[in-house]
Chains A and B, each alone.
Chain A
């Protein structure tokens, strides 16, 4: 079952590189999310889009730039990252985006910044 697909699965980049993570949901949901998961730490919400409008930005550094061209697609553009940004980046979607509903996650991008 691949309701939410993320690419790439793995990414290694240098601190001067620019890369993008892509997420696509096939569930007809209205809200999409980017989460960061570091080892042995809780998931950290980065960005939320509801009906293609950004509704939450949790003080994320500007080296992370989200883009939501439509309700099915979400991107996370990366530039001049730091080694501490190495983590699992998860995309998720939900029906309404109101904070009370279930999330469906993609398989994540394991990012390593050298």
Chain B
């Protein structure tokens, strides 16, 4: 099993809809997680940090399920500007951030 797995998508979602995707991990020692978004040909930018069971920021909710070893990202009332690739990052140990390959999201008008 890969250390981090994400459905590559693309997820094609109509504007205003709710969309959710998961990220599974195999390193059970992970204590905190991050979601980054990356626009086409741009650098990743931090979207959310998750240090406990979950975090909510406006339209975005990130949740952690330790028993099943996955984290999720929920986007409500999706906007055209939410179109991007979403990268999951569960830190392992010292500097060894293991990144998912990302889930591509396309919001359609």
Chain B contributes a number of interface residues (CB within 8 A of A) equal to 25
Query: Once A and B bind, how many residue pairs between them come within 8 Å at the CB atom?
Result: 57
Q: For the complex, what is the distance from the CA of A34 to the CA of B32, rounded to whole Å?
A: 22
* Secondary structure of the A contact surface, majority rule: loop
Q: For the complex, what is the distance from the CA of A103 to the CA of B96, rounded to whole Å?
A: 12
Q: Contact: B94 with A103, CB < 8 Å?
A: no
Can you name the residue of chain A whose Cβ is closest to the Cβ of B100?
Answer: A42
Asked if A15 is at the interface of the complex by the 8 Å CB criterion, the answer is no
Q: Contact: B46 with A99, CB < 8 Å?
A: no
Asked if B31 is at the interface of the complex by the 8 Å CB criterion, the answer is yes
Q: Contact: B49 with A102, CB < 8 Å?
A: yes
Chain A contributes a number of interface residues (CB within 8 A of B) equal to 24
Asked if B80 is at the interface of the complex by the 8 Å CB criterion, the answer is no
Q: For the complex, what is the distance from the CA of A79 to the CA of B34, rounded to whole Å?
A: 34
Task: Report B's interface with A, CB cutoff 8 A.
Answer: 4, 8, 31-32, 34, 41-46, 49, 87, 91-102
